[in-house]
């Protein structure tokens, strides 16, 4: 596996691959790899001749009071994991490479960045759209793999790719969960043992909603279902819902009736310290 930090080198490598007619898969990450990340990389390796993984903790997608400074990092461990499964290039651009002095361009995917996580993280999705556009231009992939865990991000990247005419196939990969159902996340690291137990309320809410909608004939009135899910979250110690929403799977607009094919998305604060998200197709 090659380690690349600068734009010129990555451009040269992908140009050489292109010349040989090789296809390129891409997995953008912020590091601290868990099984979820590795599943995305394996998907890319399976589908493309070459796989580039980027590792860049993008400051523009963190708000002023978020966890940018504490975001977990271990390049050594991440490198070993990526190399172990057969990634071709680990691209770890510096801050100066990505945002040199005078940098001033911002990309907004207008409707899709507003609701859900966008409501409590107002700069987040502009940061995501902008950095992904830059990375797409640097890596020039044929396919790019994103996790369904960040459902809004995935929907937004699909729209961005279409809107800006990127000739890239966006692949969504199902959420990878721990055995007890907690969705894998780099931020799970922040949880102590008791909190780790309490946050199972997220998965309980998801299982409850799937069952409830599955057993209904014509879906469930959304406000009713949300109230029930809220009581599941609130009954877990230290857990406070940031949002619980049932939305159209493409436009992410709220539905009046929660029915099959809709998406339940939720975000929960744990002891006012960690914010976790999860989602499911109903």
Identify which of residues 126 and 228 has a Cβ nearer to its own copies in the complex.
Answer: 126
209-233 as b/e: b if 16+ CB within 10 A: beebbeebeebbebeebbeebeebb
DSSP 256: S
- Binding its own copies (rule: CB under 8 A), the pick from 163, 192, 207, 248 is 163
Decide: 50 and 15 in contact? Cβ < 8 Å: no
34 annotated active-site: no
Dihedral over Cα of 258, 282, 116, 204: its sign: positive
Q: How far apart are CA 168 and CA 124, in angstroms?
A: 23
Q: Minimum distance from CB of 164 to its own copies (Å)?
A: 6
Residue of 109, 154, 213, 258 that binds its own copies (CB under 8 A)? 109
CB 97 within 8 Å of CB 5 = yes
Which residue lies nearer to its own copies by CB, 169 or 178? 169
Q: Report the alpha-carbon distance of residue 83 to residue 69 in Å, rounded.
A: 26
- Count residues binding its own copies (CB under 8 A): 29
Q: Which of 5, 80, 84, 106 binds its own copies (CB under 8 A)?
A: 106
Question: Does residue number 224 form part of the binding site for its own copies (CB under 8 A)?
Answer: no
Cβ atoms of 135 and 98 closer than 8 Å? no
- State the nearest-atom distance from the C-beta of 110 to its own copies, in Å: 4
Q: 64-103: which residues touch its own copies (CB under 8 A)?
A: 100, 102-103
Smallest distance, Å, CB 25 to its own copies? 18
Regarding 112 and contact with its own copies (CB under 8 A), the answer is yes
Taking CB under 8 A as the criterion, which residues in 164-183 touch its own copies? 164-167
Closest of 274, 245, 279, 248 to residue 261, by C-alpha: 248
d(CA 164, CA 145): 18
Sign of CA dihedral 126, 129, 132, 136: negative
- Least separation in angstroms between CB 112 and its own copies: 7
133 lies in the binding site for its own copies (CB under 8 A):
yes
Measuring CA to CA, which residue among 177, 124, 189 is closest to residue 152? 124
Q: State the sign of the Cα–Cα–Cα–Cα dihedral 134, 138, 142, 146.
A: negative
Closest to its own copies by CB, 46 or 103: 103
**Least CB distance to its own copies at residue 62 (A):** 19
Q: Rounded to an integer, what distance in angstroms lies between the CA atom of residue 272 and that of residue 254?
A: 26
Q: Which of 51, 153, 159, 280 binds its own copies (CB under 8 A)?
A: 159
Q: Which residue out of 37, 75, 76, 124 is catalytically annotated?
A: 37
Binders of its own copies among residues 229 to 258 (CB under 8 A) are 251
Residues lying near its own copies in the complex (CB under 8 A): 7, 11, 18, 100, 102-112, 129, 133-134, 137-138, 159-160, 162-167, 251
Q: Which residues are catalytic?
A: 37
């Amino acid at each position: 596996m090659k380690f690349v930090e600068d734009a010129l080198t990555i451009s040269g490598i992908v140009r050489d691959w292109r010349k040989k007619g090789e296809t390129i898969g891409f997995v953008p990450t912020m590091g601290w790899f868990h099984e979820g990340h590795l599943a995305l990389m394996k998907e890319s390796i399976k589908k493309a001749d070459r796989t580039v993984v980027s590792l860049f903790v993008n400051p523009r997608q963190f708000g002023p009071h978020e966890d940018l400074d504490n975001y977990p990092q271990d390049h050594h461990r991440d490198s070993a994991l990526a190399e172990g499964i057969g990634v071709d290039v680990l691209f770890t651009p510096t801050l100066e490479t990505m945002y040199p002095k005078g940098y001033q361009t911002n990309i907004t995917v207008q409707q899709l960045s507003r609701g859900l996580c966008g409501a409590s993280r107002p700069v987040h999705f502009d940061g995501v759209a902008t950095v992904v556009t830059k990375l797409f231009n640097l890596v020039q992939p044929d396919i790019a793999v994103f996790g369904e865990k960040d459902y809004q991000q995935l929907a937004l990247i699909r729209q961005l790719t279409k809107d800006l005419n990127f000739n890239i196939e966006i692949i969504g990969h199902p959420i990878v969960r721990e055995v007890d159902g907690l969705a894998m996340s780099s931020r799970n690291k922040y949880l102590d043992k008791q909190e780790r137990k309490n946050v199972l309320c997220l998965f309980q809410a998801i299982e409850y909603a799937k069952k409830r909608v599955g057993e209904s004939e014509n879906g469930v009135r959304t406000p009713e279902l949300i109230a029930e899910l809220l009581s599941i979250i609130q009954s877990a110690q230290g857990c406070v819902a940031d949002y619980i929403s049932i939305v159209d799977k493409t436009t992410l607009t709220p539905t009046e009736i929660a029915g099959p094919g809709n998406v339940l998305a939720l975000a929960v604060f744990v002891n006012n310290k960690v914010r976790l998200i999860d989602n499911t197709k109903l």
